[in-house]
Amino acid sequence: MEYHEAADYLTSLQQHRPKLGLDTTARMLAHLGDPQDEVDWVQIAGSNGKGSTARILDSAFRTGGLDVGLFTSPRLNDVREQVRVNGRKIPTERLAELVTELKPCIEHLRADDDMPTHFEVLTTLAIAHFGAADVDVGVLEVGIGGRYDATSVVDPVAAAVTSVSLEHTELLGETVEEIARDKAQVAPSGAPLVTGASGDALAAIRGETDVVTVGGADADVHAVEDGMRSEIESHVSITGTDWALESRLPLLGAHQATNAGVASVLARQVAGLSTSTIAEGLQGATWPGRFEIRSTDPMVVLDGSHNPGAAATLRDLVGRYAYDDLHVVFAAMRDKNHERMVAAYPDVDTAYTTRPDNDRAADPAALAATFEGHADTIHQIPSVPEATERAIASADPDDFVLVTGSLYAVAEARDRWTRLLVPKDRGRRLSRDAVFTGAAFQEATVEAVDTRVFNAYLRKEQARTVAEHLEAIGGTCLRSTTGAPGKFVVTVLSGTGPQLRTLADAIAEEGDGLAHLSRQLREAVDAGRSRPGSWDAVETDRTAVMGVLNVTPDSFYDGGEYDRLDAAVERAEEMVAEGADVVDVGGESTRPGADPVSVEEEIERVVPVVEALSSLDVALSVDTRKAAVADATLAAGADVVNDVSGLSDPEMRFIVADHDASLVVMHSQSTPVDPDRSTSYGDVVEDVLYELNERVLLAEQAGIDRERIVVDPGCGFGKRPAESFELVDRVAEFQALGCPVMVGHSRKSMYERVGCGSGERLAPTLALTAMAAERGADVVRVHDVAENAAVVRSVAAMNGG
């Protein structure tokens, strides 16, 4: 079974309504060899906050060095998002393998009139994947209730109930107390249940099991949000009987402080993590679509609150910000209490009622009626992407745009920031000065016959509209659902520059959220096939050369050569003379097996070198994954931070923003960095693009302009040699991120694939430098500056530069 067949099969299971009971899931797990017996499990139940708590706990565990499986629901777009190991989505091939193995059992159950639900199957797949990955702990977000939820097939070592409110009353009971008692059944046998519940719900839970309470002053663990560190982070204090911690938390609100407290107790119960480790984990926790700030001019927030209790919490969060007008894009499922949700919101100036592509979604007209008396102006818009575009377009810089009511709506709105237009053409350009003769080409320009190709994931109606317009003007549009996540269509656009500009103009007026694609398309066509020199930290119209200066005793190539200050300065001056545009100073080796370096030692190695080089007429970069080192070196005169861990230190993005510096974000799967750690990819370029885009969004959120963010696909870091070569071959596709692109390929072990040992890697390095420059890389990071600078100058000359 191919991945797209597996994804379609899972989607077909969504037609079956939720049900309670463990037998079906147990039978499927037995078919797979009962993988649940091999893992320590944590279950997290609750009416609100269970997903946030699961993400916080996952971050804390991983900060503590544990391998962690995380199962959450619902997804935003791709079913793979729900099943993660160490933060990475389940690979496409692995999902297809598991569905193929499980399908005979599912069909047997269907024949027995015991058809599994989508959630039961996905729970089974997650448990099996975590077992095969040999994770240290698996974190399971409960679906409905607790007693008979599919996740309760495991025997947890720890569990929590975050909160309790009226929900799923037809399944769980008519009162808060009944629902609380049901959720309390996730309690482990060997530890008290951790809960943020209060009032009657807490009393009911106490009647079922021993508890550790988290919340206000009367709780066993006091968790409080005590101020905002910035627009996107709050400060939390968590105090237990004999322990306490303080941390910054990127998830805002008093309720998130309670969730962080619950996660902290679980982290101590399961792994005995120190308070410092937990605090660092809290600061690194993110949860897309949960009061996610995507813009501040105007303020744009995506929040999946989907019941009255969550809507009331959302009102309090919105009230923290000063704004002129409030624009609300609202969509919800039919079974939700829309009236109470809308009544909970602050005063709304303009409401845009809409519906996501979901059969359970409420009609925009019905939702519009609930805003009568609650909004000055009400618009009914057919699609979430278009409603989001209109709300942002009509908002003034000091306004607030809120997309809420359903995670399905948030997912479609978030496409505006996550769905990329990826260039797929790698052919050589026609001559810039060519003049064609003959009747057909008498007045043709090069652009008029030079075809461009782009790939995008679009929703079905969007793809249909784009195809109609492009084919009407002689272009080509290919569409396929094969390989597309969720409800997307793989859409390939092919046309000349004039055709694609005409298409951009046409779809800008079509609605359905296509205005953003129009902007992406115009920017991509105007930029041309390649755009070296787009990084504003260097002044060059060709691919820039970043020279590597390791001031370490143990780097894989030049360790110990430049760890004296005079030698480092001499080598830097030599690199500048050889043509380096940037000098990258590194004080910690990332080679396999390298000893970790303390912050203090790394600063002692790097800062004196940066200070000594600050007078050079060249950009200075520091290669570090530690925010404290970055802070010290930027203060000493560095211009750029080259973070090979991809923002693993949650403070890094804020430090770079505070210094108004540039940031290189490299794709890597392990922290501390382990370049030899093997990771399974479906399409390595597509997977790395997705993960780098999320990192870029985090950096932007902290206040770093995209023009100052450089992305590095991370050749050799968690990639097999063939995958590293593919990243260089397809480097032009990373231009879809709208950032300068750097390739770090110099003298790496990937060249063993072509028979080059450690002392024989200059020639293949130069070959890939030429390829990267020709493909449009903005920067190459190299050890041998003179030779590589000659290569990029040659490529520039070949291209008319």
- Do 167 and 153 fall within a single domain? yes
670 — pLDDT class (breaks 50, 70, 90): low
Q: Is residue 401 a contact partner of residue 298, using CB atoms and an 8 Å limit?
A: yes
* Boundary of a domain, candidates 363, 391, 418: 418
* In contact, 658 and 681? CB cutoff 8 Å: no
Q: Which residues form the domain of 713?
A: 544-798
Query: Do residues 557 and 504 share a domain?
Result: no
Flag whether 534 is in a domain: no
539 lies in some domain: no
Domain shared by 306 and 430, yes or no:
no
Extract the tokens encoding 598: 């303390």
Residues 317 and 279 in one domain: no
Q: Is 781 a catalytic residue?
A: yes
Residue 699 domain-assigned?
Answer: yes
Residues 73 and 162 in one domain: yes
Give the pLDDT of residue 478: 94
The Cα diameter of the chain in Å comes to 89
**Per-residue pLDDT at 794:** 96
DSSP code, position 741: B
In the residue annotation, 75 being an active-site residue is answered as no
Reference 646, options 735, 713, 726; nearest CA is: 713
Q: Of 227, 258, 283, which closes a domain?
A: 283
Q: What pLDDT is stored for residue 269 in this prediction?
A: 97
Query: Is the pLDDT confidence value at 432 over 60?
Result: no
Do 723 and 697 lie in one domain? The reply is yes
- pLDDT beyond 80 at 332: yes
In this prediction, residues 69-80 reach a mean pLDDT of 90
Per-residue model confidence (pLDDT) at position 3: 87
Q: pLDDT per residue over 513-528, tens digit each?
A: 999 999 999 999 987 7
From 248, 294, 730, 781, active-site residue: 781
677 and 710 both lie in a single domain: yes
Could you tell me if 490 and 505 lie in one domain? yes
Residue 482 lies in a domain: yes
Average pLDDT over residues 608-633: 96
What count of other Cβ atoms lies within 10 Å of the Cβ of residue 671?
18
Read off the CATH number of the domain in which 340 is found: 3.90.190.20
Model confidence over 523-544: pLDDT tens digits? 999 877 556 557 878 888 899 9
Helices 514-527 and 497-508, packing angle to 10 deg: 160
What's the confidence (pLDDT) of residue 681? Answer: 86
Task: Confirm whether 252 is domain-assigned.
Answer: yes
- Which one-letter DSSP state was computed for residue 455? E
Number of domains making up the chain: 4
Q: What is the mean pLDDT of the chain?
A: 91
pLDDT digit string, tens, across residues 252-308: 999 999 999 999 999 999 999 999 999 999 999 999 999 999 999 999 999 999 889
**Which is more confidently placed, 440 or 593?**
593
Q: Express each pLDDT in 104-126 by its tens digit.
A: 999 999 999 999 999 999 999 99
Q: Could you tell me if 168 and 299 lie in one domain?
A: no
Provide the edge-to-edge strand list for the sheet that holds 619-623: 709-712, 662-666, 640-643, 619-623, 582-586, 544-550, 779-782, 742-744
3-state secondary structure of 578: helix
In a domain, 537, yes or no: no
Give me the CATH number covering residue 590: 3.20.20.20
Q: Are 333 and 358 in contact (CB under 8 A)?
A: yes
Query: Which of the listed residues 249, 283, 317 is the one where a domain comes to its end?
Result: 283
Q: Is the pLDDT of residue 373 over 90?
A: yes
471 pLDDT more than 70: yes
Looking at residue 20, what is its pLDDT? Answer: 80
Q: Can you read off the two tokens belonging to residue 152?
A: 């309760």
Residues 634 and 666 in one domain: yes
CB atoms within 10 A of CB 207: 11
Q: How far apart are CA 738 and CA 390, in angstroms?
A: 23
Rounded percentage of the chain residues whose pLDDT exceeds 90 = 79
**Has residue 653 been placed in a domain?**
yes
Distances (CA, A) of 393 to 401, 436, 513, 540: 10, 43, 11, 35
pLDDT at 555 over 60: no
Q: How far apart are CA 354 and CA 381, in angstroms?
A: 5
What is the reported pLDDT for 160?
A: 98
Residue 439's pLDDT is 46
The CA–CA distances, whole Å, from 171 to 20, 63, 88, 183, 792 equal: 8, 38, 33, 12, 66
CATH of the domain at 246: 3.40.1190.10
Q: What is the pLDDT of residues 182-199, one digit of tens each?
A: 999 999 999 999 999 999
| Residues 327 and 395 sit within 8 Å (Cβ to Cβ) | yes
Could you tell me the pLDDT band of residue 512, with boundaries at 50, 70 and 90? confident
Tens of pLDDT, residue by residue over 137-174, are: 999 999 999 999 999 999 999 999 999 988 887 888 88
Evaluate if residue 569 carries a pLDDT over 50. Answer: yes
Residue 429 pLDDT > 90: no
Task: Name, in order, each residue with C-beta under 8 angstroms of 586's C-beta and a sequence gap of 6 or more.
Answer: 548, 549, 550, 551, 552, 555, 606, 622, 623, 624, 642
Give which of 792, 703, 700 is closest to 742, Cα–Cα: 792
Per residue in 721-772, pLDDT tens?
A: 999 999 999 999 999 999 999 999 999 989 999 999 888 999 999 999 999 9
Ordered strands of the 348-353 beta sheet? 292-296, 299-302, 400-404, 326-330, 348-353, 375-380
pLDDT value at 563 more than 50: yes
- Do 218 and 300 lie in one domain? The reply is no
Residue 104 lies in a domain: yes
Q: Which residue's structure tokens are 């950096």? A: 699
Active-site choice (50, 748, 761, 775):
748
User: The whole model's pTM is what?
Assistant: 0.90
For the stretch 380-395, pLDDT in tens is: 999 999 999 999 999 9
Residues 606 and 713 occupy one common structural domain: yes
